[in-house]
Amino acid sequence: MSFIKANLDSIKKRITQAAEACGRSPEDIELLAVSKTFPAEDVRSCFDSGQRAFGENYVQEGVSKIESLKDLRSQIQWHFIGPLQSNKSRDVAENFDWVHSIDRLKIAQRLNDQRPSNVGRLNVCIQVNISDETTKSGVQPDDVIELCNNISNMPNLLLRGLMSIPEPTDDVAQQRNAHRQLYKLLELLKSSKELDQSKMQLDTLSMGMSSDIEAAIAEGSTMVRVGTAIFGKRTYL
């Protein structure tokens, strides 16, 4: 059995155990395999082991992998999860199925304008700054409702939920606290009278990575983004 297949099996086991430990169904938690820095052959090997959703952080790298794997295009969901600069938005709008890292109105507008009409709506999540004091990446919780409202009026985007990258910590209580805040914010949006729920599909909480999927699942994650635990340790050139 390949290294990737073995890792994929053990991460699925972790998801199942974490779900059962808190009375959730494992099928309600989707696994996103984060393939950044790893070659297209590794994505293919992961695909051959049954994985269908992949996440990429860098536009050029992601687009060239999508191109290399175009024979699998109709079977793979490609998620863009990294920081997005305005001048790269077109490549993302044209090539990906999801964007998790919407952090300002301008990016949402550009993606909406640039999304080709023949590929369906782009699924998007708003990235929220829950606990990361250092990078300040993501929207402040107080500003999320207004951005939701704006996105809901964009015909080529479909708002699916929220994403966060909390400050890394080994303290499980702290991990859970950060994830709980994102969960509560999504619940708030789902019951908000200020939002037209018929113009969005708020079913996604994108939270949890290799080291904190248990905490994320206990707090309601519906999509965990796992890189290292599937593909191995990354080396950046």
Ligand X SMILES: *Cc1c(COP(=O)(O)O)cnc(C)c1O
* Interacting residues with ligand X (CB under 6 A): 34, 36, 57, 81-82, 165, 209-211, 225-229
List, in order, residues 6 or more apart from 88 with CB less than 8 Å away: 59
Q: Which of 130, 125, 152 lies closest to 141 in space, CA to CA? A: 130
Which CA distances in Å does 144 have to 4, 111, 138, 150, 188? 37, 18, 10, 10, 10
Q: Which is nearer to ligand X, 36 or 195 (CB)?
A: 36
Q: Is the alpha carbon torsion for 61, 64, 66, 69 positive or negative?
A: negative
CB contact at 8 A, 51 and 31: yes
HSE (side-chain half, CA atoms, 13 Å) at 212: 26
Q: How far is the CB of 35 from ligand X (least distance, A)?
A: 10
d(CA 87, CA 216): 33
Q: Which is nearer to ligand X, 88 or 195 (CB)?
A: 88
Q: Which is nearer to ligand X, 95 or 221 (CB)?
A: 221
Q: How far is the CB of 195 from ligand X (least distance, A)?
A: 25
Per DSSP, 28 falls in state G
Q: Which is nearer to ligand X, 80 or 183 (CB)?
A: 80
Q: Which is nearer to ligand X, 127 or 195 (CB)?
A: 127
Q: Which residue is nearest to ligand X (CB)?
A: 227
Q: How far is the CB of 28 from ligand X (least distance, A)?
A: 19
d(CA 27, CA 16): 8
Q: How far is the CB of 72 from ligand X (least distance, A)?
A: 21
Q: How far is the CB of 155 from ligand X (least distance, A)?
A: 27
